[in-house]
Amino acid sequence: MAKYIFVTGGVTSSLGKGIIAASLAKLLQARGFKVTIQKFDPYINVDPGTLNPYEHGECYVTEDGAETDLDLGHYERFLNIFTSQANNVTTGRIYQTVINKERAGDFLGKTVQVVPHITDEIKRRMLLLGAEKKFDIVITEIGGTVGDIESLPFIEAVRQLQWELPDDDVAVVHLTLIPYLKAAKELKTKPTQHSVKMLSETGVHPDVIVCRTEEPLSNEIRRKIALFCNVKQEAVIEAMDASTIYEVPLLMLREKLDVICMRKLGISIFPEPDLENWKVFLDKLKYPKSKVSIGLIGKYIELQDAYKSILESFIHAGAMNEVKVSVVNVHSEFITEDNVAEKLAGLDGLLVAPGFGHRGTEGKITAVKYARENDLPFFGICLGMQMAVIEFARNVLGLKDAHSTEMEPNTPNAVINMMEEQKKIKMMGGTMRLGSYPCEIVQGSLAEKIYGNTHITERHRHRYEFNNQYLEQFEENGMKASGTNPDTGLVEIMEVPSHPFFIGVQYHPELKSTVESPAPLFVKFIAAAKKYNETKGNLISALLKKETV
């Protein structure tokens, strides 16, 4: 029988509940337990797939094609496991299920209510992964902040489970903020007291309080929190700001968060955690030997969460190469033929990001052209690959009006076209080509060198594809399709073999990069950028030498 840990949040949002949940899971996993994490989100959207990145950050896609909250990305990156549709549940999905059942007449004439019908459905889903007998411990992160109207049914479901399940099968961890008042030079516990009080009023009592803080918690403060919030002093955990999120598991280990949770769950025998690989990674991350600058060309660059998995993949790939990857955000809307050289000066590689819609696409195409013509390592993801195709069509094949029908529905040269099966789709939610598909790689290609394999699977999220009618023309002129879907022939990878590193992929390799298994494309892209940087350095010193002679 699985045990359940619930993680709630108080005082304010953005405290990093996902990172705390993932860190706790990592520690339990390192002690030999089979752990998974799920996220329950209070909003009414059935999933975040229809949400603009400005609203909700990146939409993370799982193997089984679920469009989910970006915290699932953290769970996978920390735990090196796959999550699935079952790991992300929203209020919208709960209501959809209950309403469908009501329409089917499943409630036998009863009035359908929040309690018990909605809470029963929430509980059923909270216990679902545990019931599969694949996991020892299931951690459930409750989105939102305690006190929000929207999250009340979720908190009520936790209350019922705390009451229904054996005492040592449930633990509740409450994450809160201890603000530091500079003027008074004091840490303040009052907001935490209030938020725990609010949680207790709904009938849920936290077993552990994790305190986000900029200053260390003194014993006195810990005692005060313990006293007013009715927990043991050892269950008041300090969560100081860390230099990287990957340090948080070690900070939580030091604070014994995992041991205290295990104690509450009646687990008394457990091995020392095996975090050897994790520590090696952290060392490489913290002490890089050199630095590369990568331009991230996108239209949501003001919002770091929009490209979360890409940024994390750079961190994994940087550590593998023992370099610090400095990501320079370049807004695609402001790139023109006249300023592109200046905007991209000093970069060692260029990544053109995924995206939707017309805005910023001309800037992306201009940036790709610069990278292709100047031997700058180039990596295009999804829309980024499509931009590389359009650029090549316009500037090498001479098809000046080449475009994607997403931006220009009537273009005479639709080198990127809507996929056939997408044309009949009217409903927007969950209808893209989503999730994991196989790809066959051409022997001797850059892609094969990168993966060391000719059969791969990667995750997708798109409606448009390379138009195979143009394939011959592209290949004759130096851009090759080096990876295709074996069942449909859909082009998955395009590359320019005459360039040192120029590759675009229709899929999203960033979704499968984890600390223990970084995405090969990112690792090799950073290696290419490192090489570019060294060559550039050699050229400059050669030039300087010449000048001094």
Rounded CA gap, 298 and 54, in Å?
13
Stretch in the footprint of ligand GLN (CB under 6 A) among 143-151, 244-252, 353-361, 484-492 = 353-361
Q: Which residue in 515, 522, 532 sits closest to 30, CA to CA?
A: 515
Buried b or exposed e, range 81-109, using 16+ CB within 10 angstroms: bebbbebbbbbbbbbebbeeeeeeeeeee
CB closer to ligand GLN out of 23 and 313: 313
Does position 51 interact with ligand GLN (CB under 6 A)? The reply is no
CB closer to ligand GLN out of 26 and 394: 394
Does residue 510 carry a catalytic annotation? yes
Does position 43 interact with ligand GLN (CB under 6 A)? The reply is no
Q: Which of 74, 316, 499, 508 is catalytic?
A: 508
**Inter-residue contact 27 to 257 (CB < 8 Å):** yes
Member of 462, 499, 512, 524 binding ligand GLN (CB under 6 A) = 462
Report residue 495 as tokens. Answer: 């590359």
Does position 73 interact with ligand GLN (CB under 6 A)? The reply is no
Does position 95 interact with ligand GLN (CB under 6 A)? The reply is no
Does position 520 interact with ligand GLN (CB under 6 A)? The reply is no
DSSP state of 517: S
Does position 524 interact with ligand GLN (CB under 6 A)? The reply is no
Q: Which residue in 64, 60, 63 sits closest to 18, CA to CA?
A: 60
Does position 406 interact with ligand GLN (CB under 6 A)? The reply is yes
Q: How far is the CB of 59 from ligand GLN (least distance, A)?
A: 9
Q: How far is the CB of 38 from ligand GLN (least distance, A)?
A: 24
Does position 463 interact with ligand GLN (CB under 6 A)? The reply is yes
Member of 95, 107, 228, 356 binding ligand GLN (CB under 6 A) = 356
Residue type, position 412, single letter: P
Name the pairing type of β-strands 137-142 and 3-9.
Answer: parallel
DSSP state of 218: P
Q: Which of 121, 465, 492, 510 is catalytic?
A: 510
Q: How far is the CB of 414 from ligand GLN (least distance, A)?
A: 13
DSSP letters of 396-448? TS--TTEEETTT-TT-SEEEEEE-GGGTT----TT-SEEEEEEEEEPTTSHHH
CB closer to ligand GLN out of 141 and 510: 510
Q: How far is the CB of 481 from ligand GLN (least distance, A)?
A: 16
Report residue 239 as tokens. Answer: 């969560």
Q: How far is the CB of 520 from ligand GLN (least distance, A)?
A: 20
CB closer to ligand GLN out of 267 and 352: 352
**Inter-residue contact 484 to 490 (CB < 8 Å):** yes
What's the CA angle centered on 122, arms 117 and 127, to 5 degrees?
125
Report residue 45 as tokens. Answer: 């959207």
Member of 354, 435, 483, 518 binding ligand GLN (CB under 6 A) = 354
Rounded CA gap, 394 and 335, in Å?
17
Name the pairing type of β-strands 413-418 and 170-177.
Answer: unpaired
Cα separations in angstroms, 198 against 14, 145, 146, 202: 19, 11, 7, 7
Q: Which of 141, 382, 391, 458 is catalytic?
A: 382
Residue type, position 79, single letter: L
Q: Supply the Cα-derived Rg of the chain in whole angstroms.
A: 25
CB closer to ligand GLN out of 280 and 425: 425
Q: How far is the CB of 332 from ligand GLN (least distance, A)?
A: 13
Does position 67 interact with ligand GLN (CB under 6 A)? The reply is no
The number of beta carbons lying within 10 Å of the beta carbon of residue 166 is 10
Does position 464 interact with ligand GLN (CB under 6 A)? The reply is yes
Q: How far is the CB of 52 from ligand GLN (least distance, A)?
A: 13
Number of residues that bind ligand GLN (CB under 6 A): 10
CB closer to ligand GLN out of 376 and 434: 434
Stretch in the footprint of ligand GLN (CB under 6 A) among 287-295, 358-366, 456-464, 541-549 = 456-464
Q: How far is the CB of 16 from ligand GLN (least distance, A)?
A: 26
Q: Using CB under 6 A as the criterion, which residues of the chain lie in contact with ligand GLN when the complex forms?
A: 354-356, 382-383, 406, 461-464
Active site residues: 382, 508, 510
